[in-house]
């Protein structure tokens, strides 16, 4: 029994964390999530799908030093798949979107 418990503890990994959006958006809607990236994180992944059926949608990923790491403006009609990898800097990362008379869906997450 002790060996089983030790084996389980030895295989313990850091939890898989994701932060983001899985929702529809409409005129003048917006969203913001903040992820705390630690020094033990080596990479940060931005992945998902966005569909804009009307208007425009702006997506930004902002790093801990307040610099824009990723930015995309999507004008309808468009569907995109996003799959980006970034070196992780410790601190607070912000993922946000803003709709400009837009309509559609956003399924976009920041993984660490």
Domains, the chain? 14-111 (2.60.120.380)
Contact 25, 100 (CB under 8 A): no
For residue 55, how far is the Cα from the chain centroid?
A: 22
Nearest CA to 33 out of 99, 93, 103, 87 is that of: 93
pTM assigned to the model: 0.83
8-58, pLDDT tens digit by residue? 444 444 455 789 999 999 998 999 999 999 888 889 999 999 999 999 999
């Amino acid at each position: 029994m002790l060996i089983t418990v030790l084996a389980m503890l030895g295989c313990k990994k850091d939890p898989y964390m994701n932060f983001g959006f899985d929702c529809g958006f409409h005129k003048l809607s917006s969203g913001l999530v903040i992820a705390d990236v630690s020094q033990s994180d080596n990479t940060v992944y931005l992945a998902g799908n966005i569909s804009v059926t009307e208007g425009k949608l702006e997506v930004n990923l902002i790093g801990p030093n307040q610099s824009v790491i990723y930015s995309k403006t999507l004008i309808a009609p468009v569907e995109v798949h996003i799959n980006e990898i970034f070196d992780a800097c410790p601190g607070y990362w912000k993922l946000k979107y803003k709709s400009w008379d837009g309509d559609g869906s956003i399924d976009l997450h920041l993984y660490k």
